[in-house]
Structure 1
Amino acid sequence: MNPSDDLVQKCLIEGHIKLYEYTRFKDVELIGEGGYGKVYRATFKDNEVTVALKSFKSNNMTIKEIVSELKLHCKVDMHSNIIRLYGATKNE
């Protein structure tokens, strides 16, 4: 595990964000692409819930942005105007 992965892992643990195996998703379909990475539509195999998966480019600046976004989501996750954060996954 590299230092960037360590930083994200620490944020996941401290923020009590659930980590899902990537294999728990099906029907993964690219729906958009931007400066930080790609966005996919996917479905949980367990319960058929449709979710968005954000894929980030791996560089130090992006890792800091990911950690910042995760921390913000932890603070406002219960607000009705915020899209719910179910957790995180990693596609090797």
Structure 2
Amino acid sequence: MILSDDELKMVEDLAGANYSPEKIALYLQVEKTAFLKEWYQLGSDVRQAYDRGRLVAEFSINQKQLELAKSGNITAAQVYFKEAERLRVEEIRNRILFGE
């Protein structure tokens, strides 16, 4: 399956909005099984666009949380520290399980 640059950008945008791969296939009007086959291949263009979309959205949210926390918003600081701890635990888990 080959997607155009515009379609890959749409995959990125939809992934950033937390759409599942199945829903993205439906949105793009492509065969779901072919799309999922590409998505399951870690190095494929579809998977890279999907992962990048999630990462960009996560970065934007975390960056805004940090700005709010620095400005004195206590709730934002709590959310920021909770997310930082979750990411730290995830890194440790990956290091133990996968040697990363």
Q: When you count helix as a share of all residues, which structure comes out higher?
A: 2
Q: Same fold (TM over 0.5)?
A: no
- Structure number with the bigger relative contact order (C-alpha 8 A, sep ≥ 6) is 1
Q: TM-score range by the shorter chain?
A: under 0.3
Q: When you count strand as a share of all residues, which structure comes out higher?
A: 1
Structure showing greater radius of gyration is 2
**TM-score normalised to the size of structure 2?**
0.26
**TM-score normalised to the size of structure 1?**
0.28
